[in-house]
Copies of this chain bind each other. A is one copy, B any other.
Amino acid sequence: MVLRYPNGKPYQPILPKKNKNNHENIIFGNRGMSLEDEINQSNQYYLQQDTAVIHKKPIPIQIVQVDYPQRSAAVIKEAYFKQASTTDYNGVYRGYYLDFEAKETHNKTSFPLNNFHEHQITHMKSCIKQAGICFTIIKFTATQEVFLLPASILFNYWNNQENGRKSIPKSIIEKNGFKIKYHVKPLIPYLTIIDKLIENLHKE
């Protein structure tokens, strides 16, 4: 049976990859791990270190039927995926509210905007009005490159889709975003970029 996410993409458990060439495992130790897992692992490290409290929100589900077998845990027998009304991640760091989405793309030269839903953009715009810090973490899987892109850049491209362009060029992400180099503890040290954004806030 194929498990699928609400967006229809098949669920892929994280298993050790069988590479033709084992050297790949040495160079790209995290290849095969989803961006979500990498970020969850990083957030766990940040939490343990008292650096920040950032969590992924559970998938929203409409429960219809629950069974209560004797001496066992309640079993949900019928439920449906609901559309989330927010982004996936939020939390607090140095007194700042952080809110973001994490997205992977197989594309090599641009990031397709159909990775986002209107309500996620609306949500981030609302958070920014409350002085929250909103952004996207984008991973180009082909090159295993990870960028932090401030929400303002995403909004520019999102708002101008009528003009025909349905994606953000990678060159723009490289220029206006911040490349996050893989690290060990944590795997994706994105808060060092947030430190820079906070510094800039105070300069303004």
Residues of A within 8 A of B (CB): 1-4, 6, 47, 50, 52-53, 55, 57-61, 63, 65-66, 68, 73-82, 84-86, 90-97, 99, 123, 126-127, 129-132
Does B57 lie within 8 Å of A58, measured CB to CB? yes
| Cβ contact of A92, chosen from B60, B63, B97, cutoff 8 A | B97
Chain B positions within 8 Å of A77 at CB level: 77-78
What's the number of copies of this chain in the assembled complex? 2
Say whether, besides A95-B97, A123-B53, A6 and B61 are in contact (CB < 8 Å).
no
Say whether, besides A59-B58, A76-B81, A77-B78, A132 and B92 are in contact (CB < 8 Å).
yes
| Cβ contact of A81, chosen from B65, B73, B91, B93, cutoff 8 A | B73
| Cβ contact of A97, chosen from B47, B65, B97, cutoff 8 A | B97
Chain B positions within 8 Å of A73 at CB level: 80-81
Pairs across A and B, CB under 8 Å, 30 listed = A1-B65, A1-B66, A3-B63, A3-B65, A4-B66, A4-B74, A47-B126, A50-B129, A53-B123, A53-B127, A53-B130, A53-B132, A55-B85, A58-B59, A58-B60, A58-B61, A58-B84, A73-B81, A74-B81, A75-B79, A76-B76, A76-B78, A76-B79, A76-B81, A90-B91, A92-B130, A94-B130, A95-B96, A95-B130, A96-B97
